[in-house]
Amino acid sequence: MPDSDDVEQLLEELTLLQPSAALEAVQRWLAAQKLDVACSALKKEIASDPSKWSPPSSTSAAGTSASSGTSTRPGRLFDTEPIDPASVPSVLLTKPDPVFFGERDDKKREGAATEEFALTVHYDALTSGLESEPHFRVEEKQIIAGRYVVIQYLGSGTFCHTVQCEDLRAGPSSRHRFVCVKVSKNTKDILDQNLWEVKLLKLLSRRIDSEQRALLPALLNVFYYRETLFIVYELLRDNLYHIYKYIEECALPKYFTCQRLREVARQCLQTLAVLHAQHVIHCDLKPENILIQSLTACQVKVIDYGNAYLHHDQRCSYVQSRAYRAPEVVLGHAYSTKVDLWSFGCILMELLTNRLLFDNRSVQSLLASHIALLGPFPKRLVEEGQLSEYYFEHMGSSSHPQTLVGKHDGRLCRMKPTSTSLEALCERHGADDPNFASFIRQLLALDPVERATAEKALQHPFLRDTSPCPPYKLTTADRSGEAGQRLLHKYRSLENVESPTRLTGSASFPSAIDAALLNDDDVPGPATPTSFREQCYIDRERLEKKRSRKSGASRWGGSSNSKDEPPANLDGMALSPDPVGPKTPASTDPLKKGRA
């Protein structure tokens, strides 16, 4: 039988391919595994009904294939050469443990002034002792703490589930009548991690002004109920990953054009500038952690501060999701706020191309991808990294370019980076602003010393452009399709914007933005289907879960993927039916599942 690691490696590769290429890869793999009967059966099945194996093409929410221009990563980023494990130093076959930077002065902490906030505990007089179930089970139409009515499932993460609720104490015209409620998972470490997010946001709110506070998600309430921590935030919309994935799969017009990337960049960098001025490193920037506030106004907010570190505190090398992990983190250097700029550069390129910028199947393939797109690492960065020896066969010299050794396609391989042009990649995917590529290079400088700060990046010529952002328009065919109708149903202001409008602002919101937000709030919550969001979570997180199981990371792990958790909703989180579009098939509908 094939090794389970080989099977999972194949599945990783299939997620990156178009259907036709994926079928060819499966056939090659079956032949290599000497599974001739299975290979023959697959070929007969394809031959009997070729249309069944072709990618769908419609504007339905079921999804379509991507266009040929955005189907793969930027060319081949590295060549591989199988090698004998006995021929390489044993350190290259060893998985390193996380390293830590900085020390905590417990004596100094004892005498330091402390901050505090009130935590309301809701309880009833009808029960005694502990709850009968260790985890709080959320169900549709349930009332939490006599105040929040559960409307629909929003998403799942390592530390919590999130649901959309109606606040019964808010008036019909209240801006926060509908809210996002984070339901903490019930372990000591996760409870503390979620409390840290609350503590940080409250600390920041005391130290920054009202205009800066408007950049952060509004924290509305935090309470303890039935042995579970609940955190209530303002309700935002879809995250950036869901939006670009949904629009691509449904073959709708591209949303993240160069002009809209400029708006996203400006807002996120303003948020990072505020955080970094307060010595806070976000440490978990990714498209899932940037939420849309208005699709028409292209207003976004950075969320999820539970993995943040204070720059002066002890920090761990196991932070950031791998695809967005800065090279200094990978190589084991003490890092700074500039790791957030690296992650953000990766995000912008992903939004442009609809694909991860770097190959993240292993740490070695990630580093090889860095070299392919950005050139060799500075010698100092490699030689002084505490973890470099675990990945590099050659640190780099005139006679030996930088090469890496790691597992690839189930075999130990030497990885030799190729050379790919970042500028050509930007141009190929429609980045029509000549300043965009140089802006990305500032964010993706391999040497953190040369990488831009958030404040400096805000001064780049790419962001000085104040030309209006054209409205996002759907074609007549798009509007008649299910996916287009879903966007129009949830983002009402898309119906009314007919001309380019300058939609930027501050805490007070100009009238154009305010109108867009109010119109979009007519039908609150995300536009993407519940079943789509759950599948995205399972697909996107599965590989990271596998990797984190092997990492040995403790609660210091930092990244939201640093725990071994089941896929979304296996612990009984309920999903609400969608008002528009197909429901989750009955066989997989979490509403029909019992407690795992």
Residue 131 token pair = 């709850």
Return the pLDDT at 572: 38
Return the pLDDT at 19: 60
Return the pLDDT at 12: 54
Return the pLDDT at 509: 40
The helix or strand, by DSSP H or E, that contains position 84, with its residue range, turns out to be none
- CA distance to 17, 274, 293, 489, per residue, from 240 (Å): 21, 21, 11, 18
Return the pLDDT at 341: 99
Fold category of 240-520 in CATH: Transferase(Phosphotransferase); domain 1 (1.10.510)
pLDDT at 193 over 50: yes
Taking only the tens place, the pLDDT of each residue in 8-26 is 555 555 555 556 666 777 7
The segment(s) of the chain belonging to CATH 3.30.200.20 are 116-235+530-592
Decide: 131 and 427 in contact? Cβ < 8 Å: no
- What does the pLDDT average to over 482-510? 65
- What does the pLDDT average to over 387-399? 83
Closest CA to 346 of 338, 337, 356: 356
pLDDT at 376 over 90: yes
Cα–Cα distance for residue pair 64/248, rounded to 1 Å: 7
Taking only the tens place, the pLDDT of each residue in 460-482 is 999 998 877 888 889 899 998 88
Return the pLDDT at 586: 34
Per the DSSP assignment, residues forming a β-bridge with 100 are: 316
Taking only the tens place, the pLDDT of each residue in 245-262 is 999 999 999 999 999 999
Cα–Cα distance for residue pair 514/504, rounded to 1 Å: 11
pTM above 0.85, yes or no: no
Cα–Cα distance for residue pair 320/562, rounded to 1 Å: 9
pLDDT at 410 over 80: yes
Of 49, 97, 209, 284, which one is the catalytic site residue? 284
Cα–Cα distance for residue pair 208/168, rounded to 1 Å: 31
Cα–Cα distance for residue pair 118/241, rounded to 1 Å: 35
Q: Which amino acid is at 139?
A: E
Residue 578: pLDDT band with limits 50, 70, 90:
very low
**Residue 139 CB coordination number (10 Å):** 12
Cα–Cα distance for residue pair 584/567, rounded to 1 Å: 16
The segment(s) of the chain belonging to CATH 1.10.510.10 are 240-520
pLDDT at 555 over 60: no
Range 116-235+530-592 has CATH code 3.40.50.150? no
**3 tagged catalytic:** no
Taking only the tens place, the pLDDT of each residue in 36-54 is 767 677 666 666 665 555 5
Closest CA to 342 of 441, 234, 470, 231: 441
Q: What percent of the chain has pLDDT over 90?
A: 54
Decide: 448 and 328 in contact? Cβ < 8 Å: yes
- What does the pLDDT average to over 221-233? 97
- What does the pLDDT average to over 124-135? 86
Cα–Cα distance for residue pair 334/102, rounded to 1 Å: 8
Residue 437: pLDDT band with limits 50, 70, 90:
very high
Taking only the tens place, the pLDDT of each residue in 321-335 is 999 999 999 999 999
Least confident of 123-137, 251-265, 442-456, 535-549: 535-549
Decide: 347 and 324 in contact? Cβ < 8 Å: yes
